[in-house]
Amino acid sequence: MNIVKVIQQESKKYLNHVAIRETISSFTYEQLFENIKDISQKLENKEIKKYARVALLCPDGADYIILVLAILSLNAVAVPINLNSSKKEINRIIDEMKIEYFIFDETLYDSNEKHVPFFISYKKHSFAIQHLNKKLTEQNEFESLNPAFIRFTSGTTGKSKGVVISHESILERTDAANQVLKISSQDVILWVLSMSCHFVVSILLFLRRGATLVLCEQSTPQGLATGLSQQDITFIYASPIYYQAMVSSVNINPNACSQVRMAVSTAVSLNGKVAKEFREKFGFEVSIAYGIIEIGLPFINHSGNSEFRPSVGKMLPGYEIYIEDKDVKGIGSVYLKGPGIFDAYFSPWQIRNQALKEGWFKTGDLGRIDENGFLYLYGRSDQIINFMGMKIFAEEVKQVLESFPEIHEAFIYGEPHDSFGQIPKARIVLQSTKLPLDIDGLRRFCYEVLASYKVPKDFECVDSLKKTMNGKTMIEQ
């Protein structure tokens, strides 16, 4: 099975439908498939064969989509590299993922090795190809999985792992997610996210259903304003920073979302204050999605009810959840199983059944299920702060701090202490650097909402927080 062939088969009746729209151009599904065929032939001429691991460092846009689909159409394996990766990180990925071919934009990577120029037929964009010929000890086992992608975990606690996802798993994930997203050929989707981090359950699903992708080529909030000004957007797929921009930008008025039926927030938790302001400005709730590279989108909060705003929603059909070692409030380690679960970890090599616990995937997140079946997350299990034997959930404190008017973003951590075990501290990014933070006011605010032992003992103002390639805050700052 090949996911590109599935897309081509399912999109036959939409050949004249616009597949991708950019600021000054657009093209149909028929043109998309012609471009994919053209590039796949060029890749074949470069001797890229079935199951070859092909790393890709490319700017977001139509070229990116065409190139990835061309790689997949050959049953080669796409290994997307984030545009913000350092050269050291890129070289580590190439080495650990045993990359056989590296396709890159020469403006993004300075290589001393010999390479061959390569042109995308759509925009005549120039790329380079390096043939690296790395070998994998478990090659036969790798090929037996029918791999399509090697993706990377968030890396919040250290270096990220390569996650192998097969064509079959992609099909299962996209089918499962669409039971709630309900993407159709009538949808016009505003796309603003990094394609290296978001592709499998989103772009591939949108193309399977014959939808139109509107790609924003400008940065936030200009790109959002331009995209939304087209008035026919029906679906938004974005991370919290974009919803913050939509709320605060004077160039985006409430009527811009008059046709939007669903706005999905993914990657990191959405600030409750932003979610409230979004509802007040645009008249509907943002749908929070709980996405996991290893398993897809098992939870999407599409309730539209502000009462459940802090939740990631109810479990999608076909998935199962198990919460281990619950405390008195029902909070424990979240385990999941369901369609589209990953096929293996690449480095070190570990097939799915070896990585799972009796079929269950340990997410590393802490959560509880309420009486209505809604899942609430409380951060990572390695982010619990133990203060004098009492548990402090970093995510709970973070949400409280970020609801304070002067604070844009917060990071909560535990500092080792000889007498108390750990004491909670906070690093915060202010909404404005022009005015000093009212520390006393912030402490009073926290004591009104949190148990006294949960209130951070120290607040440090910083310019920014270190993030992973997927936009998550790193535990070690």
pLDDT tens-digit profile of 188-215? 999 988 898 889 999 999 999 999 999 9
What share of the chain in percent tops pLDDT 70?
A: 93
- What is the tens place of the pLDDT at every residue in 107-116? 888 777 666 6
Domains defined along the chain, listed by start: 388-461 (3.30.300.30)
Q: If we measure between CA atoms, which residue out of 255, 155, 188, 271 comes closest to residue 19? A: 188
The edge-to-edge listing of strands for the beta sheet with 235-238 is: 26-28, 18-21, 212-215, 188-191, 235-238, 262-265, 287-292, 296-301, 314-315
What is the average pLDDT value for the chain, to the nearest integer?
89
Q: Output the pLDDT for position 125.
A: 67
Which spans in 249-329 are helix H? 272-282
Render pLDDT for 64-105 as a digit per residue (tens, 0 to 9): 999 999 999 999 999 999 887 778 888 888 999 999 999 998
Residue 157 confidence (pLDDT): 40
d(CA 347, CA 254): 47
Mean pLDDT of 405-420: 88
List the alpha helices (DSSP H) in 335-436. 352-355, 394-402
CA–CA dist 331, 469 (Å, integer): 28
β-strands 350-351, 344-345 pairing: antiparallel
Tell me which of 386 and 37 has the higher pLDDT: 37
Which residues face 368 on adjacent strands? 376
| pLDDT score, position 212 | 97
**Structure confidence by residue, pLDDT tens digits, 219-257:** 677 778 888 887 799 999 998 888 988 998 888 999 999
pLDDT of residue 154: 53
Mean pLDDT of all residues in 327-344: 94
What confidence tier does 156 reach under pLDDT thresholds 50, 70, 90?
very low
Region 442-447: mean pLDDT is: 93
Backbone phi, psi, residue 361, to 5°: -100, 125
